[in-house]
Amino acid sequence: MSQLEIRDLRVTVAGNEILKGLNLTIEQGKVHALMGPNGSGKSTLAYTLMGHPNYEVTGGEVWFKGQNILELEPDQRSHLGIFLAFQYPVAIPGVSVANFLRTALNAHRKAKDPEDKGMPIPEFRTLMKEKMDLLKMDHSFAGRYLNDGFSGGEKKRAEILQMAALNPEFAVLDETDSGLDIDALRNVAEGVQALRGPNFGALVITHYQRLLNYINPDVVHVMFDGRIVETGGPELALKLEAQGYDWVREAHGEAVISE
Amino acid sequence: MANKKKTSPRVKKATVKKKVAAKATKPVTKKKVAAKPVAKKKAAPKAKPKAVVKKKVAAKVAKKTAVKKTAAKKTVAKKTTVKKVATKATVKKTATKVASKKSVASKKSVAKTQPKKVAAAKSAAPVAQQPRVVTRAAEPEVIGAGKTPRVITRGGAAAVQTKSGFPFTAEQIPNGVKEAAFLHSYRQSAWSHFESLPLPSTNDEAWRRTDIRQLKRSSMQIVDNLPSAQRGALPAIPAQLLKPLVGEGHGGQIVFGPGETTVTLSQDIANQGVVFTDFATAAAKHPDLLKKVLGNVVKPEEGKFAAMAGALAGRGALLYVPRGVQVEEPLHSLLWGPGAGLAYFSHILVWVEDGASVTYVHEAASPTISEQSMHAGIVELHVGSGANLRFVELQSWGEHMWNFTHERARVQKDGNLDWIFGALGSHLTKNFSEINLEGEGSLGRMSGFYFTDGDQHLDHDTQQNHMAAHTTSDLLFKGALEEKSRSVWQGMIYVAPGAQRTDGYQANRNLVLSKEARADSIPGLEILADDVRCTHGATVGKIDPDEYFYLLSRGIPPVEARRLIVKGFFDPIMERIPFEGVRQRFQQAIVQKMK
C-alpha cells in the first residue's frame, strides 16, 4: 500500500527544532497541497522525507510501502518510489541531463534486479524524447550540463522531466512554481497532471493558489510552526489566497508562545 | 564543486620590480624560492640588488609566497617596459605585501643549504670524475641490448659519493652503434653531468614538495643488464595496451619491451619521408638526422635525472616529419617497464618540420608490484613554422614506479602544439614540462589530467614561456585525489621582454576526495612585457555535499554518485581530448580508483 504516513515527526536543523510533531497521511493516488507562511517548516519536511543529512530526525516515523523510510538512505528511498522536486535544483557541472538521467534510471533498474544490464540506448532515447515533448522542451536540453547555467524555469522543468522519467509513486514538489512565468507554470503543471493516476501520490508545497488552479489538489493543509494546523479541501487554498495567513497565526500562535 | 580556496585574479600586466641596480653583469641565475610559513628558518642573506617579486599562490597552504631572482638577461634589456608595468600592477602589489614578510627570511642559497654529503659530492665532482669518464669511454666493451647480459655488482662507497647512491657505471652507457660517434659522445657528456650534478633535495625549490629520499637508489639495476632469461620472464605486454588509443589504427608503432624493441611503420607514411624508429636504427640509418635532433631542446645538464636519462637511455624513439608532410594516421609508442628493482631510461625525440603535421601517442606502463622500480626520461619536441603536433602522453606506470621526466617543446612561428598529459600511475612522479613559444603567432596548449590514490605522489612542474610576440598558451590541469595521495602542480607563465600581445592562461583544478589526500596548486606569473593578457587560477575543492545529495535523491548509489561527480569534474579536460580511446581509458581508471 503506497500511502505515505507521517507520525509525530520531529526534526532539528543545526540545533533548532523545526518540525514539532508533524502528523500527515497522504493516501495512495492522492495529491495534497501544503501551504504555510515562510519558516513554518515546509522545506524541512521535504528534505527530511528525502533524507538530507543536515536534517536530524529526533522523533517519529514515516511509513511508505511497509517501511519506515527514515531508516533508509536517500538512494534507497528513491528506489522505493519517492521523488523530491527541489526548490533549488543543484547544478552538476560536466554531467549532461541525458547522462545523468540514464545513470539514475539504470540505478533504479539495478535496484530492482541486480543482474540488470541497463536500459538499451535506443529505448532511453525514445523515453527522453517523449518526456521532453511532454514538457515542451527542446531536445538539445538533453546534452546540456544538468542545471548548469539553467534559467529558473529550465531548472524546474528539468526537475519535472526527471520525475516523469523516474515515474515515482510519491513525489514531493517543493515550491516548483516559484520563479516560473505563466507559460512555464502551465507546462510544469501539465507535466505533473500527466503523471496523476491511482499510483501517483504527491505533496505539493506552494505559496500560491495559481499552481493549484492547474493541479487540483484533493486535500489542502496549512502548516504553521512545525505542525499541520489546518486541513481542508481546495477551498482552504482559496481562503488563504484571499485572506493571507493572519487568521492562521491568530488561531495557532498561542502554541508558539507556549513552547 | 565547493572550492575551499580559490584564486583566479585576472592579471593584465603584472610585475613588481624592485629598484634595478646598475650591476648588469651579475651572474645569470634563476631561482624560485617559495616561503612556507612552517619552513625551517634559513639564514637571511643580504638583500640582492635585483629582485622581481612575483606572486605565487598556493591554494592549499595559505600565504604561500615566492621570491624570484630573475636572470639579468631577462630584466635588463627592457627596463623602461618593466617600469611601466610596475605602475599598473595592482594585483601584484598586494601579493608583494604578503611576500615581503616572509620572503626575506626565505631567500637562501641553494648551495649552502644542501645536505653536506651532496654538497661535497658537487665540489668533488670536477676533480674526481672527469678523468674517470674518459678512461671508461675508451674501454672497448659494448653492452648491447640482450647481447652481453650480466649481473651488475653494486657500487662501492666511492660510487655512492659521486653518483648519489645509484649503482650505474659508465660501462653501462648504451653503445650499440659504432658509427654514431656523436651519440656516444652525447651520452658520455650526459654521464659526466650525471656524475657531477647533486641529487635533488627538498632544499631545491623545484623539489621542495617532492622528497625522493625513500628511493632505493642502490638497488636499482638497469633492465638491459639483466640476464636475458630474467628479462624474458618479466610480464608480457597486455594486448589492450597495443590497441590504438587514437583513431582507427596506427600509422606506426614502437614497442619497447624489456627484451626487445619492435618498430612498425606503414609503407605509405615511410614513403612520405617520415622517420619513426628507435635510436639504434636511427643511429645506423639516419645518423645526420639524429645528430641534428638529439639534445636540441632538452639538455642533459638540466637535472640529475635528465643527465641520467641522456646518458643511459637504451629506449629511444625518433619521430621526424619532413617539411610539409601531413601524417594522417596517428603514431604510437609504448614503453613497457615491468619488474622489481629495475631502472628504465627513455628518450623521445619529435621533430616536425615546417608546415608538417602529425599526431603521436606515447604511453609508459607497467603492472604494479610491491618493490620499487624507476624510470627517467627525456622528451624533446620541435614544432616547426606553421607545423602541427598533437602529442598525447599517458603515464600508466605501476604504483611502485619512481618516475622522473624532463620534457620540453619548442614551437616556431605560427606553429601549433596540442600537448596532452594523462597521469594515473607511478608511486612518485616529478615531471618538468615546458613550452617555449619561440616564434611569433605560435600556440601551445597543455591539457593534463591526473587521478591519484593510495600513497601516490605526482608532481607536475609546468612552464609556459612566451619568447615572442603574438604567442598564445593555454594550460589546464585537472586532478582528483583519493586516499592518502598527493599532487603538486606548480606552473609558471613567463613573458619575455618584447613578447607583446601574448595571451597566457593557466589553470589547475583539484578535487580532493579524501580527508587524507592533499593537493598543492601553485600558479605563477612573470611578465616582462607590458601589453599582454595573462590569466591564472588554482582551486582545491572537495565534493559538494549538495551535489552528492542531489544525485542520491535520484536513486544513484553513493559510489556511483561520487564517480559521476568526478567524471563531471574531468569533463572539461576530456572535451579537450578528441580521442575516444584515451577518454575511455581514463573513465575505466576512475571506476577502478573509486571502488
Q: Report d(CA A80, CA B110) in Å as an integer.
A: 64
pLDDT beyond 50 at B66: no
Band (B343; pLDDT cuts 50, 70, 90)? very high
Q: Which residue has the higher pLDDT, B530 or B125?
A: B530
Band (B37; pLDDT cuts 50, 70, 90)? very low
Phi, psi (deg, nearest 5) at residue B540: -130, 115
Residue with cell 612542474: B461
Q: Report d(CA B350, CA A164) in Å as an integer.
A: 54
What integer pLDDT is reported at residue B177 of this predicted model? 62
| Amino acid letter for position B394 | L
B587 touches chain A (CB under 8 A): no
B572 touches chain A (CB under 8 A): yes
Band (B378; pLDDT cuts 50, 70, 90)? very high
In chain A, DSSP assigns E strands to 4-13, 16-26, 31-35, 55-64, 67-68, 82-85, 170-174, 201-205, 219-224, 227-232
Q: Report d(CA B505, CA B476) in Å as an integer.
A: 8
What integer pLDDT is reported at residue B180 of this predicted model? 80
| Amino acid letter for position A143 | G
Compute CA distances A196 → A213, A235, B193, whole Å.
15, 21, 79
Residues within 8 A of B (CB atoms), A 51-70 only: 51-53
Our CA-based measurement puts residue A232 at a distance from the nearest CA of chain B, in whole angstroms, of: 30
Q: Which residues of A touch B567 (CB under 8 A)?
A: 94-95
Give me the mean pLDDT over the B563-592 stretch.
Answer: 89
Structural domains in chain A, sorted by start: 4-93+169-258 (3.40.50.300)
B561 touches chain A (CB under 8 A): yes
> Of A227-231, B71-75, B156-160, which has the strongest mean pLDDT?
A227-231
A179 touches chain B (CB under 8 A): no
Phi, psi (deg, nearest 5) at residue B219: -100, 10
Residues 6+ apart with CB under 8 A from A227: A19, A20, A21, A22, A23, A255
| Amino acid letter for position A35 | M
Q: What number of other Cβ atoms are within 10 A of residue A71's Cβ?
A: 12
Q: What number of other Cβ atoms are within 10 A of residue A140's Cβ?
A: 9
pLDDT beyond 80 at A24: yes
What integer pLDDT is reported at residue B101 of this predicted model? 34
Q: Which residues of A touch B571 (CB under 8 A)?
A: 93-95, 145
| Amino acid letter for position B356 | A
Q: What number of other Cβ atoms are within 10 A of residue B112's Cβ?
A: 11
pLDDT beyond 80 at B246: no
Q: What number of other Cβ atoms are within 10 A of residue B29's Cβ?
A: 11
A15 touches chain B (CB under 8 A): no
User: Are B555 and A104 in contact (CB < 8 Å)?
Assistant: yes
User: Are A162 and B561 in contact (CB < 8 Å)?
Assistant: no
pLDDT digits over A179-222, tens only? 888 888 998 899 899 999 999 999 999 988 889 999 999 999 99
Q: How far is CA A43 from the centre of its chain?
A: 9
Residues 6+ apart with CB under 8 A from B239: none
Q: How far is CA B530 from the centre of its chain?
A: 29
Q: Report d(CA A74, CA A71) in Å as an integer.
A: 10
| Closest chain B residue to A111, measured at CA | B555
Q: Which of A55, A73, A78, A105 to mutate to test the interface with B (most CBs of B within 10 A)?
A: A78
A73 touches chain B (CB under 8 A): yes
Q: Which of B550, B560, B567 to mutate to test the interface with A (most CBs of A within 10 A)?
A: B550
Give me the mean pLDDT over the B362-368 stretch.
Answer: 96
User: Are B560 and A103 in contact (CB < 8 Å)?
Assistant: yes
Give the range among A92-106, B191-205, B243-257, B305-319 with minimum mean pLDDT.
Answer: B243-257
Compute CA distances B26 → A34, B49, B73, whole Å.
78, 10, 10
Compute CA distances B512 → A178, B197, B266, B448, B476, whole Å.
35, 36, 44, 16, 17
Give the range among A64-73, B124-133, B250-259 with minimum mean pLDDT.
Answer: B124-133
What integer pLDDT is reported at residue B176 of this predicted model? 67
E strand or H helix that includes residue A217: none
User: Are A84 and B546 in contact (CB < 8 Å)?
Assistant: no
Query: B451: which DSSP letter?
Result: E
Radius of gyration from C-alpha coordinates of chain B: 24
Whether residue B306 contacts residue B226, with contact meaning beta carbons closer than 8 Å, is answered with no
What integer pLDDT is reported at residue A2 of this predicted model? 80
Q: Which residues of B touch A107 (CB under 8 A)?
A: 554-557, 560
Compute CA distances A190 → A208, B58, B239, whole Å.
17, 51, 54
| Closest chain A residue to B562, measured at CA | A92
pLDDT beyond 60 at A104: yes
Whether residue B464 contacts residue B435, with contact meaning beta carbons closer than 8 Å, is answered with yes
Q: What number of other Cβ atoms are within 10 A of residue A20's Cβ?
A: 19
Band (A132; pLDDT cuts 50, 70, 90)? very high
In B453-588, DSSP assigns E strands to 457-466, 472-481, 486-495, 502-512, 518-522, 525-527, 532-542
pLDDT beyond 90 at B315: yes
Q: Which residues of B touch A77 (CB under 8 A)?
A: 553
**HSE-up (13 A, CA, CB side) for residue B485:** 27
B568 touches chain A (CB under 8 A): yes
Beta A4-13 vs A16-26: how paired, if at all? antiparallel
pLDDT beyond 90 at B502: yes
Give me the mean pLDDT over the B170-186 stretch.
Answer: 82
For A107, the closest of B1, B560, B569 (CB atoms) is B560
**HSE-up (13 A, CA, CB side) for residue A46:** 26
Band (B137; pLDDT cuts 50, 70, 90)? very low
Band (B59; pLDDT cuts 50, 70, 90)? very low
| Closest chain A residue to B549, measured at CA | A52
Whether residue B176 contacts residue B144, with contact meaning beta carbons closer than 8 Å, is answered with yes
A245 touches chain B (CB under 8 A): no
**Angle between helices A121-134 and A97-112 in degrees, nearest 10:** 120
What integer pLDDT is reported at residue B265 of this predicted model? 96
Phi, psi (deg, nearest 5) at residue A254: -55, -40
Radius of gyration from C-alpha coordinates of chain A: 18
Q: Which residues of A touch B1 (CB under 8 A)?
A: 93
| Closest chain A residue to B555, measured at CA | A75
Compute CA distances B454 → B240, B389, B399, B425, B428, whole Å.
24, 34, 9, 11, 11
For residue B241, which of B425, B365, B391, B399 has the smallest C-alpha distance?
B365
Compute CA distances B575 → A110, B248, B583, whole Å.
29, 19, 9
Our CA-based measurement puts residue B407 at a distance from the nearest CA of chain A, in whole angstroms, of: 30
Q: What is the SS3 string spanning B399-433?
A: CCEEEEEEEEEEECCCCEEEEEEEECCCCEEEEEE
b/e code B383-395 from CB counts within 10 Å (16+ = b): bbbbbbbbbbbbb
Torsion region of A255: left, alpha or beta (phi above 0 gives left; psi -120 to 50 gives alpha): alpha
Total residue count of chain B as it appears in this document: 595
Give me the mean pLDDT over the B156-184 stretch.
Answer: 74
pLDDT digits over B580-595, tens only? 888 888 888 888 888 8
Give me the mean pLDDT over the A211-237 stretch.
Answer: 94
Whether residue B402 contacts residue B428, with contact meaning beta carbons closer than 8 Å, is answered with yes
What integer pLDDT is reported at residue B545 of this predicted model? 96
Give me the mean pLDDT over the A41-47 stretch.
Answer: 97
What integer pLDDT is reported at residue B178 of this predicted model? 65
What integer pLDDT is reported at residue B467 of this predicted model? 97
pLDDT digits over B94-119, tens only? 333 333 333 333 333 333 333 333 33
Whether residue B256 contacts residue B346, with contact meaning beta carbons closer than 8 Å, is answered with yes
Give me the mean pLDDT over the B562-582 stretch.
Answer: 90
pTM score, two decimals?
Answer: 0.79
Beta A55-64 vs A4-13: how paired, if at all? antiparallel
b/e code A210-232 from CB counts within 10 Å (16+ = b): ebbeebebebbbbbbbbbbbbee
Band (B12; pLDDT cuts 50, 70, 90)? very low
> Of A150-159, B45-54, B470-479, B569-578, which has the strongest mean pLDDT?
B470-479
What integer pLDDT is reported at residue B164 of this predicted model? 84
Q: Which residue has the higher pLDDT, B579 or B419?
A: B419
What integer pLDDT is reported at residue B412 of this predicted model? 98
Band (B87; pLDDT cuts 50, 70, 90)? very low
E strand or H helix that includes residue B482: none
What integer pLDDT is reported at residue B162 of this predicted model? 62
Residues 6+ apart with CB under 8 A from B184: B137, B173, B175
Give me the mean pLDDT over the B293-299 stretch.
Answer: 96
User: Are A100 and B550 in contact (CB < 8 Å)?
Assistant: no
pLDDT digits over B452-492, tens only? 999 999 999 999 999 999 999 999 999 999 999 999 999 99
pLDDT beyond 80 at A136: yes
pLDDT beyond 60 at B147: no
Torsion region of B589: left, alpha or beta (phi above 0 gives left; psi -120 to 50 gives alpha): alpha
**Which residues share a beta bridge with B358?**
B389
Q: Which residues of A touch B556 (CB under 8 A)?
A: 75, 103-104, 107
What integer pLDDT is reported at residue A109 of this predicted model? 97
Q: Report d(CA B490, CA B462) in Å as an integer.
A: 6
Chain A to chain B, count of Cβ pairs less than 8 Å apart? Answer: 81
